[in-house]
Amino acid sequence: MSDAPALRRVLETALYVEDLAAARAFYVDTLGARVLLDTQRLLALDVSGASVLLLFQRGATSEPLPTPGGVVPPHGASGSQHVAFAIDADALDAWREHLGASGVVIESEVRWPRGGTSLYVRDPAGHSVEFVTPGLWKTY
């Protein structure tokens, strides 16, 4: 057991994309996330008031970023990444229908041994996007 102070939750998740407009169309128009910040380098989205999804223009974070409060270290990723959104079990069918009606192909559906079901799709950048009902993890 660690004696570190308690972590409260994951606040931000970052994905790196080639086309911020396509990412905005998918995450805002199709999935319903709310825009917090929209710049040429970054699209920050509110996810149900519980977390922030950061969509960075690929390559725009490869150098340190000076700000009035300090310097943000460089970061980035290449290739396909993954993000999972928690959904209610009784919303699974509605999500399946909504995604299909929006032209989003469900790549895979998994019923987990512990419980819960995941729907996997791809965003416009090719990232794996998961919609998961409770039961997958001991804590969810």
Task: Mention every residue, 6+ apart, whose C-beta is less than 8 A from residue 74.
Answer: 61, 62, 63, 64, 65
Counting residues of the chain whose pLDDT is more than 90, the rounded percentage is 94
Counting residues of the chain whose pLDDT is more than 70, the rounded percentage is 100
Backbone angles phi, psi at 34, to 5 degrees: -105, 135
How sure is the predictor about 75, in pLDDT bands with cuts at 50, 70 and 90? very high
CATH architecture of structural domain 12-59+80-132: Roll (3.10)
Structure tokens at 53: 């999804």
Handedness of CA 108, 109, 111, 117 (dihedral sign): positive
**Is 80 exceeded by the pLDDT of residue 103?**
yes
Average pLDDT value over all residues in the chain: 96
DSSP reduced 3-state for 21: helix
How sure is the predictor about 140, in pLDDT bands with cuts at 50, 70 and 90? confident
Structure tokens at 94: 């509605």
